[in-house]
Amino acid sequence: MLDSSGRCLGCFSETVEAQLLASIMSSTQETAILELEGLAVATALDTFQGSLKSVRVVVFTDNQSVQASIIKCKSHNLNLDLIIRRICSSEESLCTIAWIERVLSYSNPADKLSRE
């Protein structure tokens, strides 16, 4: 989480076990990137909820499909759709509307950390 000056106020990281990945992927999926990118947004809203109540929030993602799905508040991917419902519920309970913006991977400060 960054403030309006770009200063880091907090972060989180989790390892996703292979068994969990397998359980959220359909048989036709090669990766669970949509679900994981959406889950990062939902987790951030939950993790930092104490700092996000009634403030303006800008969420950056480097995944266009996730960005579009969050903007629409729905997805044809059933697992991502459930994650998006959580995101929308979090926005309501926090009394905020998150602006979702796409950032190129090389400009995403979290991208390098997630690969290490």
**Hey, where are the domains in the chain?**
18-115
Task: Give the confidence band of 80 by pLDDT, cuts at 50, 70, 90.
Answer: very high
Res 24 pLDDT > 90: no
Tell me, what's the pLDDT at 116?
61
Percentage of the chain beyond pLDDT 70 is 91
- Dihedral sign of CA atoms 40, 42, 45, 47 in order: negative
Confidence (pLDDT) at 14: 86
CA 82 to chain centroid: 13
Give the per-residue pLDDT at 26: 84
Q: Quote the Cα angle for 28-26-45, to 5°.
A: 130
